[in-house]
Amino acid sequence: MLSSVLEFVGLLRRAGVRVAQSEVGDFLEALRLTGMDRDNLLWAMQAALIKEEAQRPVLESLFDLFWERGRLPRGFAGHPPVVPADAPRLDPEVFQLRLQVIKDYISSERSRLSGPLSGSCRAGAVGAGPGSGRGTGRPGSGASNNPGSATGRFVSAVLEGSPEKMRRLAREAMRTLPVEDMEDQDFLRQMKKNTGWAGGEELLRKMAGDKTVQAMLGRGLEERLEQFRRVVAAERNRVTWEKDPGQVADRLNAARTSFSRLDYLQSREIAKKLLLLGRRLATRQGYRYVPSPRGKVDLRRTAALAGRLGRVPASLLRRQRKPDRPEVVVLCDLSGSVAPFSRFMLLLAGAMQYKFRLCRSFAFVDAVEEVTGLSRGWDAENKIAGILRQTRIWQTGFSDYGAVWRQFGERYAGVVGPKTNLIILGDARNNYKPAGADDFAGIAASARRVIWLNPAPADQWNSEDSIMDTYRPYCDAVLECRNLEQLARVARHVFN
């Protein structure tokens, strides 16, 4: 039993849940008091090992995979089933008759539940597709009308809210995919194609105004779609678990999960942790050195004095650290998949604004504009979400770094100075447009140091339209920054 528990705790730690040895002892004691069955095992773990609400789904996901439902952990004796001495028995004929009654009831219930969906299709809620006019529901008027099509099955599963239907659909879609070897974006793209997710979601949004559909959705369309996303993620973990449990634990670790893959709850928790990290870093003083009669020996100035006087460095010059507030300018790319990374970077900068003598934030796509006011205050997260609506940084929808550097140099030339730490977050994908390297070199030459944070995997830099190496010579550091763990490491390095 103990070896199974320790193995499971190791996976929890790999998934980002910090578990101390004393907490393992508390768990074993709780299990001794409550009894060794499956439910008590889970409850004891939740009570002894979980410290944050966001960690509960991680524990439950690993628990279901590690100890399959219906069997106890290895080494757990459990409680023997109670079998009455005079167990009642049915005659085979009576048993078959009752079994047939149950089957007939299930069949009629399935027909009844599928009735409202076909009715809404005939009303035109489902069948509106290319060439189908107003959607009469006639056979052949669109693939979405056919309950056997992928889109029809997706719509049916979401409307019913049946986890079993969703699970069956996801499993069939994964059957031909190399799930454990696929990148996240490729996996999601294939799943949307194989399950009819893309067309089905669009169709459901059009149907959302129908009263019959509203009654079937109950809690709302977004919750049902999120339920399907969770089912797909759980099925992917189940398939991957059979070959590499550690890979599943890494995927469940929110601190190591790419910002672009975070679900809603994970995103909220990461935002809270970033704000807390920003405030913690903001309380640390920045320092610079000044001449002082006391303090550490300044070897450079001492050796320079001895060289000028032509003697042994007998007179020691000293220096002392003096608190200082640095200047920071942040430029964030808000195009496409880079937007989630930039959003968290702007949140961090906003949380640390009082640490700096000057802290200004800029956002860009193919134009650049200052957004300092939109990354400050208690509702900064809501403000940042509306930057594209409230600014004019999105002209063509395609990143244009060359135009951005030119505009920044013309409109904000005095922002970057010799005391400024310039931080740029972007993937350097320029859509094959002019790089504007000279303009960028002029901006970088004015700054104290330039740090470029790239959210793309390092092995993808300089591939296709990425021109990271064009800008690298003008930067003091180019770092990969894809998740909370990397962003926290960069923040401690850059902002101290």
Q: What's the pLDDT tens digit per position in 174-224?
A: 888 887 777 777 788 888 888 888 888 888 777 766 666 666 666 577 788
Task: Indicate whether 272 belongs to any domain.
Answer: no
Is the distance from CB of 217 to CB of 139 less than 8 angstroms? Answer: no
Its pTM stands at 0.58
Residues 310 and 342 in one domain: no
Residues 310 and 427 in one domain: no
Q: Residues in the chain with pLDDT < 50?
A: 69-71, 74-75, 77-84, 87, 116-147, 287
Task: Indicate whether 379 belongs to any domain.
Answer: yes
pLDDT at residue number 372: 83
Residues 334 and 308 in one domain: no
Task: Indicate whether 135 belongs to any domain.
Answer: yes
Distance CA 52, CA 54 (A): 5
Residues 213 and 102 in one domain: yes
* Of 382, 400, 454, the residue nearest 423 (C-alpha): 454
Task: Indicate whether 112 belongs to any domain.
Answer: yes
Number of domains in the chain: 4
Residues 356 and 438 in one domain: yes
pLDDT at residue number 408: 94
Of 49, 66, 83, which residue is a domain's last? 66
Burial (CB count within 10 angstroms: exposed 0-12, middle 13-18, buried 19+), residue 421? buried
Residues 232 and 105 in one domain: yes
Task: Indicate whether 77 belongs to any domain.
Answer: no
Residues 48 and 161 in one domain: no
pLDDT at residue number 122: 38
Distance CA 146, CA 127 (A): 9
Residues 481 and 456 in one domain: yes
Task: Indicate whether 223 belongs to any domain.
Answer: yes
Q: How far is CA 178 from CA 37, 187, 252, in A?
A: 36, 9, 19
Tokens of 335: 């195009």
Residues 333 and 442 in one domain: yes
Residues 236 and 101 in one domain: yes
Task: Indicate whether 131 belongs to any domain.
Answer: yes
**Phi and psi torsions of 351, nearest 5°:** -70, -20
pLDDT at residue number 132: 38
Residues 422 and 436 in one domain: yes
Residue-wise pLDDT tens digits, 104-139? 666 766 676 665 444 444 333 333 333 333 333 333
Task: Indicate whether 281 belongs to any domain.
Answer: no
Instruction: Return left, alpha or beta for 466; rule: phi > 0 is left, psi -120 to 50 is alpha, else beta.
Output: beta
- The 3-class secondary structure across the chain, one letter per residue, is CHHHHHHHHHHHHHCCCCCCHHHHHHHHHHHHHHCCCHHHHHHHHHHHHCCCHHHHHHHHHHHHHHCCCCCCCCCCCCCCCCCCCCCCCCCHHHHHHHHHHHHHHHHHHHHHHHHHHHHHHHCCCCCCCCCCCCCCCCCCCCHHHCCCCHHHHHHHHHHHCCHHHHHHHHHHHHCCCCHHHCCHHHHHHHHHHHCCHHHHHHHHHHHCCCHHHHHHHCCCHHHHHHHHHHHHHHHHHHHHHCCCHHHHHHHHCHHHCCHHHCCHHHHHHHHHHHHHHHHHHHCCCEEEEEEEEEEEECHHHHHHHHHHHCCCCCCCCEEEEEEECCEEEEEEECCHHHHHHHHHHHHHHHHCHHHCCEEEEEEECCCEEECHHHHCCCCHHHHHHCHHHHCCCCCCCCCCHHHHHHHHHHHCCCCCCCCEEEEEECCCECCCCCCCHHHHHHHHHHCCEEEEEECCCHHHCCCCCECHHHHHHHCCEEEECCCHHHHHHHHHHHCC
Residues 136 and 247 in one domain: yes
Residue 496's CB is within 10 A of a number of other CB atoms, namely 12
Supply the range of the domain harboring residue 51. 2-66
